[in-house]
Structure 1
């Protein structure tokens, strides 16, 4: 076969070194690179979606089954995890208020755990602004369970059907809010 005289071979090699772009400010370069990475990821997701759309129905069924299994497994793990109390940052207190979503029919009670490395001394618990309980010392890792029977107010013990709407504790080291609006206070 004769060669076409109008065709010629071209080389992709550069005749000289490539010119370096002037570098911008660091913030501009980071923003540019982040934008490039985001657009590359978006492009890859679009390609995966197009490949999925063009696949056969059996592949789609398999993907649906695996996705459903993963979703159900994740939901099962979340449901199976036991409810945990909330640790207040001030004094290392972990609080569980009953009744709660996990135990809606439980009698009113407040469980306070000392998760700190130091003991709490001269602890005064105040519930709903008027009922108090005093504990001399709570060792590290120790628990105190407050029930209406051991909380005293100006007119006597706390009524058994009254819920824990607010609670705070004071120690020699400071004070911490434990319950606000019937919910344990977070970190």
Structure 2
């Protein structure tokens, strides 16, 4: 003799969700049927509006770069060539960890060292702050690349 098992306590919530889903399906079917019966000009206008909406969303998605780290070190590097102080470099620690024993190296071995760079800290340096031995770079030196090395990792950045 088979015994009947009691339905789970959530059965009432599931049937309510199925009812809501069924209502939405019926409305969607009515909308689709109405669209099928509409004239050609309405369909063209709806297509234009839909294309505009899709292109607008794609444009917004493409233009809004995702914030956050774009390299393994979590560094943000910018160069300002038009400063009255000469060419300046901005280096920011965008990671959530301290960088220790930081060494910044320009193209041909011009170096700048700093013991620590905490998260969200930044350092702005003129090219004359870098050294190779006791020498500074020439006044007209235009850096092409920067390498950041620290205990937490390293990264190379092209300076545009």
TM range (shorter): 0.5 to 0.7
For residues 138 and 66 of structure 2, what CA distance do their matches in structure 1 show?
27
Can you give the 5+ residue segments of structure 1 that lack an aligned partner in the other structure? 1-47, 100-104
Aligned residue runs from structure 1 range 5-154, under 5 A: 56-76=40-60, 78-79=62-63, 81=64, 86-89=69-72, 92-98=73-79, 107=83, 108-153=87-132
TM-score by length of 2: 0.55
Farther-moved stretch of structure 1 (142-151 vs 153-162)? 153-162
For residues 117 and 65 of structure 1, what CA distance do their matches in structure 2 show?
44
SS at match of 2:108: coil
Deviation of 1:119 after TM superposition, in Å, equals 2.1
TM-score by length of 1: 0.49
Q: Deviations over 1:51-110 (max 9, x none)?
A: 98x96133112211331243135314543x368675431xx33223336xxxxx755443
**1:94–1:162: structure 2 CA closer, same or farther, 3 Å change rule?**
same
Q: Judge conservation of contact 2:89–2:127 (CA < 8 Å) in 1.
A: no
For residues 85 and 97 of structure 1, what CA distance do their matches in structure 2 show?
15
Q: Judge conservation of contact 2:110–2:130 (CA < 8 Å) in 1.
A: yes
- How many residue pairs get aligned? The number is 122
Over aligned residues, Cα RMSD in angstroms?
Answer: 3.6
Can you give the 5+ residue segments of structure 2 that lack an aligned partner in the other structure? 1-31
